[in-house]
Structures are given as C-alpha cells and as structure tokens.
Amino acid sequence: MKVWKILDYSRESKQLIACYVKVAKSVYDSSYKALQLARETINKDLCTTQLLDVERGEKMEDNIPVLEIL
C-alpha cells in the first residue's frame, strides 16, 4: 500500500497536510487518484501530493484525516 500526503499550501496554519490517502499498490496512477479523492472529500483547491517515505521511517501525523482507495 502506498500512502500519499495531500498538501494544502493555502492554509495559514503551520499544518500543511490536508489528509493522507492510502492507495493499493495495484492502482494505476495512484498519485492522481489520491489527489482527486482528496479534492472531492476535503477541498477542491488541493493541488500537491507527496509520497510518505516509510522506508526512511516517516510516519503519519496524528489528527489528520485518512482516506483509502482499494
């Protein structure tokens, strides 16, 4: 499973992560599909994704919505 961070640079707060989207590895073009789901669910103006770097120990932050595409 891939985990995409959907970033929101329009917010004035220090928190730039709008949500996480977990996507099955079998999903083609997972970054685009994760962004589309976040736009439909969180905010239509979101425009940036970044893969969570689990190989280097990056973990999801608490209190941030998590969406899934299976």
Q: What is the pLDDT of residues 8-53, one digit of tens each?
A: 887 565 668 999 999 999 999 999 999 999 999 999 989 899 999 9
Q: Are 18 and 6 in contact (CB under 8 A)?
A: yes
Cα(66)–Cα(56) distance, rounded to whole angstroms? Answer: 20
Count the domains in the chain.
1
Q: How many other C-beta atoms are found inside a 10 Å radius of the C-beta of residue 40? A: 11
Structural domain harbouring 40: 2-69
Q: What is the pLDDT of residue 9?
A: 81
Q: What is the pTM of this model?
A: 0.89
pLDDT at 62 over 70: yes
Q: What is the pLDDT of residue 55?
A: 85
